[in-house]
Structure 1
Amino acid sequence: MIASVQFKNFKALRAASLRLGPFNLVIGPAGSGKTSLIQALLKLRALSATATGTALARGSAGAEAAGSGPPSIGLAKDGLPSTRPVTTSPNETPEIIFRFAAPFADIEAHLGCRSEMVCDLLELRHANTAEARARAGKLREQLGRIRAYLLDHYAMAGAVAVTEGDELAANGHNLAAVLAALRAQQPKSFARLEEDFCRTVPEFSGVVPQPAGKGQVAVALRLAEGGEVITAENLSQGALYLLAVLALSFAPRSPAVLCIEEADRGVHPRLLRPVRDALYRLSHPEAFGEKRPPVQIVATTHSPYLVDLFREHPEEIVVASKRGRAATFERLSDRPDVKEILAEGSLGDIWYSGILGGVPEE
């Protein structure tokens, strides 16, 4: 849905741009812009839903026509905006510019900032016609469906009101309610989730959310040997994280864009492939025989093991690098030497070595 993001003087992203595909795994050291990218997407969501934070149709067709904003950041060979630094002055007002894929390709979202840290004005630039304004309204609805997750195993292990199962919370604290709701309302989807989980972690034979008193429910799993029910406080981080990612992938109502920080968090390297596949189920539903709109994924990781799983898809890897105070993004597939790099061996090891960039400065 989002074709590209262009940053001007926003935190460490002084002059950076990034084209986004269906799946985007962002790798890089601390302070290289990974979290800032997700924060920008969340700010776009927040302001798109707030009338006072949106400037639409300022009355001049010229001011609102597509392309009336800053110059284009260029096109890559696949027709999407290229990923490269953009020209900017350190004295320019901070700004973030979003461009979109069809049917919103002629609309630009300009996120205006009063400082590097405060961005509170969203302007959708489009042609001053009734049709363009109607599409801008539909775009705002889509932007309201951006979600971001930083899962917390302590939060997921707690009991929660059974009524909180509509959508997984940002830290996953209502995982038990989401699983209970899926079991009650979408039993076939729940059965597939349970099958995927138990195939990945064969010591368990079932996902069995348990009543926890006073209208609450808690996560629990049934052991394959003996049938004992293991409650959430006795489950591993990895089991809880895998359950949460599977809950996202089987949710009956998917977001338009899903951001997940530290996608490898708490997960044993041998279980990272199922995590990747669960996210692929969202971004490429047709590959899993599902008929629903794809979800655009923006994930971050520090795990070379997870990076290595994307060896066959370098177009899905974004390398975030930082030199001094300035950070930039580079899509791995844009490198002219990408074939030679991939021929060297493990992609995770190559990244760890520093050849790709996206590692702490020494």
Structure 2
Amino acid sequence: MIRSVRFENFRCLREVELSFTPLTVLVGPSGSGKTSVLEGMHYRLACETSDYWRMDASQQVLLQWTFTDGNQVRRVFPLAELDSLSVHGHAVQGISLEPSVLRTDSPLGRVTALSPTGDNLAAVFSSLAPAQREAVVTQLCRLVPSIGDVSVRQSGPRTQQLRFRDRWQSDIWFTPWQVADSVLLLMALLVLPHQLPLPDVLTLDEPERGLPSRVLGEVVGMLRRLSIGAPGVPPVQVILATHSFDLLEHIQPDEVRLLSRSPEDGAVRVGTSLQDSQDWRGRSSEPS
């Protein structure tokens, strides 16, 4: 598991060290650096001029991951060399779901991992084992009572499409374009624990978008179980970014990292408690 990551001169992360728990939540307004942190978690990141602090490529960018076993991975730009500890073995999966993309048809064929935007959701669902598909459908139908079942049909010579059955009339099936964004977002999230192989680290950018408040606790519970693991199933460290305070109602205090920007130079600052979040929320609601 990743214990901490240090960022120097990476985008708005002038000099930041973030500690991580099995489930970590980055909270802050738009532009507070959350996405920069998520994208900086990937070892094979390519550093462009726009990724340097103030777009000044004469400065050195440092990304350093420290693991709970004491090992470190260090990457420095512009040298762009990843040291020998890159063989530490951590695979990082970054997910930022887009409802319009989730609606697209998937190519036929076996796919066992969701793409960054979820454009292969139909293929991943159809590739699950029968018991896994049943588990996903059961959870989805419980959270979205208007849905009675989910299946996949061939939509073209080389494509397949999800279908959603109406709860009250079994001969009515809806296409992805006829269901709400929340249905597709929930389905993609419910598929994540069934991927093969599971990543070591999963980053999620605003997974609450489009989801009703009543299901946020269910989503957080699922992600927390994923971060803990189960007999025969290794834990997946989960790092998610949000600016939803409704989601924070389901988060433990030690899991919160509040990101904000310094008024002096715009560099990211980090708070580590729910009180910091509540203080920021109070300030953000004051009239300007």
Q: Distance in 2 between matches of 1:351 and 1:191?
A: 42
Is 1:206–2:131 an aligned residue pair?
no
Residue 278 of structure 1, CA deviation: 2.4
Residue 350 of structure 1, CA deviation: 6.0
Alignment CA distance shift 1:137-1:6 (3 Å): closer
3-state SS, counterpart of residue 95 of structure 1? strand
Is 1:41–2:41 an aligned residue pair?
yes
TM-score normalised according to structure 2 size: 0.87
Matched to 2:245, the amino acid is P
What corresponds to 2:26 in structure 1?
A: 26
Q: Which of residues 68, 79, 84 in structure 2 aligns to 1:101?
A: 68
Structure 2 residue runs without a partner (length 5+):
47-57
Matched to 1:264, the amino acid is E
Q: Distance in 1 between matches of 2:142 and 2:109?
A: 29
Alignment CA distance shift 1:211-1:350 (3 Å): farther
The structure with the largest alpha-carbon Rg is 1
Is 1:221–2:151 an aligned residue pair?
no
**What RMSD in Å do the two structures reach over aligned CA positions?**
2.4
1:166-191 CA distance string (max 9 Å, x none): 31110000000101111xxx111211
Q: Which of residues 102, 106, 122 in structure 2 aligns to 1:160?
A: 106
The 5-angstrom pairing of residues 227-306 of structure 1 reads 227=170, 228-286=172-230, 290-306=231-247
Matched to 2:72, the amino acid is E
Q: Which of residues 246, 253, 264 in structure 2 aligns to 1:314?
A: 253
Q: Distance in 2 between matches of 1:360 and 1:20?
A: 31
What corresponds to 1:123 in structure 2?
A: 83
Q: Distance in 2 between matches of 1:138 and 1:16?
A: 24
1:268-314 CA distance string (max 9 Å, x none): 1122122212222311223xxx531100111011111111111xx11
CA contact (8 A) 2:112 2:196 kept: no
Residue 46 of structure 1, CA deviation: 4.9
Q: What fraction of aligned residue pairs are identical, expressed as a percent?
A: 26
Structure 1 residue runs without a partner (length 5+):
48-90, 125-135, 333-337
Alignment CA distance shift 1:350-1:274 (3 Å): farther
Q: Distance in 2 between matches of 1:274 and 1:201?
A: 12
1:190-247 CA distance string (max 9 Å, x none): 1111111111111111111222121311111111101111111111110000000001
CA contact (8 A) 1:150 1:261 kept: yes
TM-score normalised according to structure 1 size: 0.70
3-state SS, counterpart of residue 247 of structure 1? helix
